[in-house]
Amino acid sequence: MSEPARKDNELESFRELVRNLGEGDDVFPAALRISVLEHPEWELGWWKPWEEKLESLTNQAADFLGGQTSPPDPIGAVRSFAQFFHGVLGFAGNREDYHNPANSCLTHVMNTRRGLPITLSVLMATLGRGAGLDLYGVGTPGHFLTAARLPEETIYLDPFTGPDLMDEEAALGLVEKVTNVPRRQLLPYLAPVQARDVLIRMLNNLKVSYMHRGELDKLLRTLTWLVELDPDNLAEVRNRGLILLRLGHRAEGAAELMRYVEGAPDAEDLKVIREEALRALSGRHGLN
């Protein structure tokens, strides 16, 4: 069995956006498309009203800032924007339902004004850049921040918790407190995160949510998109193969497992995975 053609069209649309992504490019359009993984009933082209909604929010941000995006007060402009993002638009972290997969969907976040650190950061950076600020995402382990590049320094914001501005030490201290990762290990991660890495991280969050919920169809689609972004990630190739088998796609699942076997000859689970692939090809039962 194969996945319906409509799903392939969604993936092709995502693939085209990713193919054209360069360093420093806006990640929002591709990140927005991830929302369809939570909503398989949506028809191709569903994203257009959401792009229009983003444009409206960007215009509001630009109007709110007025002429503050240029010197002599660049810090004041960032502070005003953070207050606009949190106080006027009302964006904040979803503490009550943190693991809901909808928090990884920009459509849901734009509607409810609640989300994960990474989705909030994507929105904050996108709106800020549209209003004239030099904002970018910062992908520290276990948390996600937004940074503002100013003429004399870089300052940091946590879109999950609120509008406070932080210097480097304060930002490292906050992430250390949230994640228990020592700040000396966090320092290299304060560099701008690449668009493709943002997408992979968003998809990984969805993957974990669907695994915990046992939503195998959505998990399969998410793994397919992950492998599309990172085809050399053989662990995800293996995982996709196993889920395909669970859903009854024996030939496709076995092919993915054999791809894993051939690409990872030193893997500890090589024997088990090879046997699983051979059982699938022979029509015998394997996974329960």
Domain-wise residue ranges, the chain: 5-190, 195-282
Q: What is the dotted CATH code of the domain comprising 195-282? A: 1.25.40.10
Distance of CA 71 to the CA centre of its chain: 33
H or E element that contains 3: none
Distance from C-alpha of 57 to C-alpha of 129, rounded to nearest angstrom: 12
Report the share of the chain in percent with pLDDT over 70: 93
> What count of other Cβ atoms lies within 10 Å of the Cβ of residue 232?
8
Calculate the alpha carbon distances from 24 to 127, 147, 197, 216 in Å. 15, 14, 12, 34
What is the distance between the alpha carbons of residues 236 and 230, in angstroms, rounded to a whole number?
9
Give this prediction's pTM. 0.92
With cut-offs at 50, 70 and 90, classify the pLDDT of residue 257.
very high
Q: What is the pLDDT of residues 210-254, one digit of tens each?
A: 999 999 999 999 999 999 999 999 999 999 999 999 999 999 999
Q: Is 155 helix (H, G, I), strand (E, B) or coil?
A: strand
Residue 5 has a pLDDT of 43
Give me the phi and psi of 268, to 5 degrees please.
-65, -30
What tens digit of pLDDT does each residue of 128-161 get? 999 999 999 999 999 999 999 999 899 999 999 9
Identify the band that residue 284 occupies on the pLDDT scale cut at 50, 70 and 90: low
Q: What pLDDT band is residue 73 in, cutting at 50, 70 and 90?
A: confident
3-state secondary structure of 138: strand
For the domain 5-190, what is the CATH code? 3.10.620
pLDDT number for residue 66? 85
Tally: H helices and E strands in the chain = 13, 6
Question: Using 50, 70 and 90 to split pLDDT, how confident is the model at 288?
Answer: very low
Distance of CA 80 to the CA centre of its chain: 26
**What's residue 250's pLDDT?**
94
Distances (CA, A) of 202 to 2, 37, 112, 179, 222: 25, 11, 18, 18, 10
Cβ pair 190, 183 in contact under 8 A: no
Closest CA to 124 of 64, 79, 63, 82: 82
Kindly indicate the confidence band of residue 23, based on its pLDDT and cuts at 50, 70 and 90.
low
Quick one: which of 139, 157, 133, 132 has its CA closest to 147? Answer: 157
Q: State pLDDT tens for residues 152-203.
A: 899 999 999 999 999 999 999 999 999 999 999 999 999 999 999 999 999 9
Tens-digit pLDDT profile for residues 220-230: 999 999 999 99
